[in-house]
């Protein structure tokens, strides 16, 4: 007969006991509060005893729960220490970086050679961060994400990287074909390109003219990089964040048509877990410092 209860249930219970509640345990383990509650119930059924007293809006450990929590705390500490020692001896432990596609394609990847040249001993694993979905810090050391408001992420630290203010841009070939695009009326007469929905252009025309204006014509792209490609090929005018298309503007691939910006409250953020594992901390700090330096140069 197996005398060991499910490991996931033990882990959920230990986190709930250490954090004095199910909510903080859920944040730490990146699951829902109901998942923690279910795991604890499963553990109580396995033992046949109650581990938490529930009532009054809070859960308190029973005497049996307190004893189990002390033992599990020591055991999980030993497990973490043993795993850390093995990882510290691993050769070529990669730095796991998750980046939203727009930053990856427009800004980070063109500069990665600079970082790898200075840090040749840094194996790197680069993956996409999906906009609007939480970062799995069990698989990720550092991430770059975008938010339309000041970012607050449970169990993570957010550092601003770039402002998200956007301006209208197009290719020189579109200007040559369509003629001057020097104001909102001329821009409204050009093909408009949209990122995800029509809201961006509606906001820009409202801010520029002070009047509501329909901007529901033109192609809607579900990915910024697709819209940028369309703008580069002369298919229309797009609203693009100034901070990540600087290379396009300097090279003349895109031309800014106005100084009026929208999404000034938006920003790109660097995300890190609140507590960095010892094995990844030096690499993460080095990469973060390089990001912040590269962003201002």
Domain assignment present for residue 1? The answer is no
Per the CB < 8 A criterion, the answer to whether 3 and 24 are in contact is no
Binned at pLDDT 50, 70 and 90, residue 297 comes out as confident
Residues 99 and 113 in one domain: yes
**0.85 exceeded by pTM:** no
Residue of higher predicted confidence among 297 and 246: 246
Residues 186 and 153 in one domain: no
Total number of domains constituting the chain? 3
Distance, in Å, from the CA atom of 146 to the CA atom of 133, rounded to the nearest integer, reads 11
Domain assignment present for residue 155? The answer is yes
Q: Report in angstroms the alpha-carbon separations of 7 from 4, 40, 81, 125, 283.
A: 8, 11, 17, 29, 31
pLDDT (mean) for 223-231: 94
Distance, in Å, from the CA atom of 278 to the CA atom of 192, rounded to the nearest integer, reads 49
> What is the pLDDT of the chain when averaged over all its residues?
87
Q: Which residue segment(s) compose the domain that 34 sits in?
A: 7-88
Domain assignment present for residue 112? The answer is yes
Residues 291 and 249 in one domain: no
CATH of the domain at 53: 1.10.10.10
Taking only Cα atoms into account, the Rg of the chain, rounded to an integer number of angstroms, comes to: 25
Residues 178 and 48 in one domain: no
Domain assignment present for residue 276? The answer is yes
- CA quadruple 161, 164, 168, 174: dihedral positive or negative? positive
Query: Residue 19's closest CA among 272, 274, 271?
Result: 274
Identify the pLDDT of residue 296: 86
CATH of the domain at 105: 3.40.190.10
Ramachandran assignment for 102, one of left (phi > 0), alpha (psi -120 to 50 degrees), beta (any other): alpha
Domain assignment present for residue 274? The answer is yes
Residues 61-114 have pLDDT tens digits of 999 999 999 999 889 888 877 776 666 555 567 888 999 999 999 999 999 999
Residues 147 and 226 in one domain: no
Strand partners, 170: 255
Identify the pLDDT of residue 3: 73
Query: Residue 61's closest CA among 104, 14, 99, 108?
Result: 14
Distance, in Å, from the CA atom of 155 to the CA atom of 158, rounded to the nearest integer, reads 10
Identify the pLDDT of residue 179: 78
Residues 171 and 252 in one domain: yes
């Amino acid at each position: 007969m197996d005398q060991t209860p499910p490991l996931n249930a033990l882990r959920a219970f230990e986190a709930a006991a250490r954090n004095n509640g199910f909510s903080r345990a859920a944040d730490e383990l990146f699951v829902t509060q109901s998942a923690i509650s279910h795991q604890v119930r499963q553990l109580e059924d396995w033992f046949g005893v109650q581990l938490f007293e529930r009532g009054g809006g809070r859960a308190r450990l029973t005497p049996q729960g307190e004893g189990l929590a002390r033992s599990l705390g020591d055991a999980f500490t030993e497990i973490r220490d043993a795993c850390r020692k093995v990882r510290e001896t691993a050769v070529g432990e990669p730095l796991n970086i998750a980046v939203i596609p727009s930053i990856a394609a427009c800004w980070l990847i063109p500069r990665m050679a600079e970082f790898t040249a200075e840090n040749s001993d840094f194996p790197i694993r680069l993956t996409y961060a999906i906009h609007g979905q939480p970062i799995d810090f069990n698989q990720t050391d550092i991430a770059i994400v975008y938010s339309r408001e000041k970012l607050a992420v449970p169990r993570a630290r957010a550092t601003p990287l770039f402002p998200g203010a956007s301006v209208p841009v197009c290719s020189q070939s579109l200007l040559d074909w369509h003629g001057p695009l020097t104001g909102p009326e001329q821009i409204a007469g050009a093909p408009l390109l949209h990122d995800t929905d029509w809201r961006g252009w509606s906001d820009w025309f409202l801010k520029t003219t002070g009047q509501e204006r329909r901007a529901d014509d033109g192609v809607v792209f579900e990915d910024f990089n697709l819209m940028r490609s369309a703008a580069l090929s002369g298919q229309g005018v797009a609203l693009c964040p100034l901070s990540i298309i600087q290379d396009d503007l300097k090279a003349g691939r895109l031309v800014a048509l106005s100084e009026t910006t929208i999404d000034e409250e938006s920003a790109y953020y660097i995300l890190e877990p609140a507590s960095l594992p010892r094995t990844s901390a030096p690499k993460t700090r080095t990469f973060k410092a390089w990001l912040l330096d590269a962003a201002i140069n």
